[in-house]
Amino acid sequence: MNPTPLIGGFVPLAVFASLDGVIRVDSAAVVATTVALVVAMLTSERKIASVPVAQSVIFAAVAGLAFGGGASAQHFLATYGCCITFMLLAVFMLGTVLFVPFTATIARYCTPAQDGAQFVDADRRISAAWGLAVLIIGLADLGAATALPNGGKVLVGVLLWCGAVALAVAALGYTWRVVADVRARLVREMGVRGDAVMVG
C-alpha cells in the first residue's frame, strides 16, 4: 500500500495546526483552505478525495466566521478553532464508515476499485482507526485550550504534536496490518499473488 495519498490528505489539517497561534486564525484558515483544495485536486485523479474536500469546507467556514464575526469570534476561534476543526473532521471521517469509508476513495486513487466484502470491511476498519485518532487529538487539544487558555501553550503544543505523531504512526501501523491480513486471506482463499492486492 502506498501511504502517500492517505497521509497527504491530512496536510491541510497539519498546516492549520502549525499556523494556529502564529498568525491570525482567519488567515490560517484561508491558507489551510487553499492547501486543502490543492491536495483535493492532486489526489482526485480517479475519484474525489473526500477528506481534503471536507477540510476545505471546514476551513472555509472557520475563515468566514473569523472574518465576519468580529473580535469575539476571532478570540473564540483563536482559542478553540484548532480543536473544533479536528473534531469536525473526525466526525466526518467516522460518519463515512457507515456509508462509503473515506479510505475507499484513496484506494481507488492507488489502484482500480476493489469492491469485495473483505475490501469494504478493511476500508471501514482503517477509516474508523484514523477517525478515532483525529478525534483523540481534537479532544486533547480541547482539554488543553480549556485548562490553559492563557498560558503554557508552547509546552502543550509540543506535547500535542508528539501525541499526534504517535497516533498517526499507530494508525498507519494498523492500516498496514489490516492490508496484510486481507492479502493473506486472499492468497489462501483465491490463490492470488499477495503483492497484487491493495486496499486502503
Reported as a single tens digit per residue, the pLDDT across 31-72 is: 999 999 999 888 776 667 799 999 999 999 999 999 998 899
Which band of pLDDT confidence, cut at 50, 70 and 90, is reported for residue 156? confident
pLDDT number for residue 164: 93
Are the CB atoms for 83 and 102 separated by under 8 Å?
no
* H/E stretch holding 95: helix 70-96
At 28, the pLDDT band (50, 70, 90 cuts) reads very high
Domain that residue 78 falls in: 4-196
pLDDT at 117: 75
Say what the pLDDT of residue 107 is: 59
What is the domain count for the chain? 1
What is the residue-averaged pLDDT of the chain?
85
pLDDT at 137: 95
Q: Across residues 181-197, what is the average pLDDT?
A: 66
CA atoms within 13 A on the CB side of 165: 5
Contact between residue 49 and residue 40 where contact means Cβ atoms under 8 Å apart: yes
pLDDT of 1 strictly over 60? no
Lowest mean pLDDT among 7-16, 85-94, 114-123, 134-143: 114-123
Burial class (CB in 10 A: 0-12, 13-18, 19+), 80: middle
* Residue-level pLDDT at 114: 54
Q: What cell does 81 get?
A: 478553532
Residue 197 has pLDDT above 60, yes or no: no
Query: Which of 2-16, 49-63, 180-194 is the least confident region?
Result: 180-194
pTM of the model: 0.85
Helices first, then strands: H and E counts in the chain:
8, 0
How far apart are alpha carbons 42 and 69 in whole angstroms?
Answer: 32
Task: Read off the C-alpha cell for 98.
Answer: 457507515
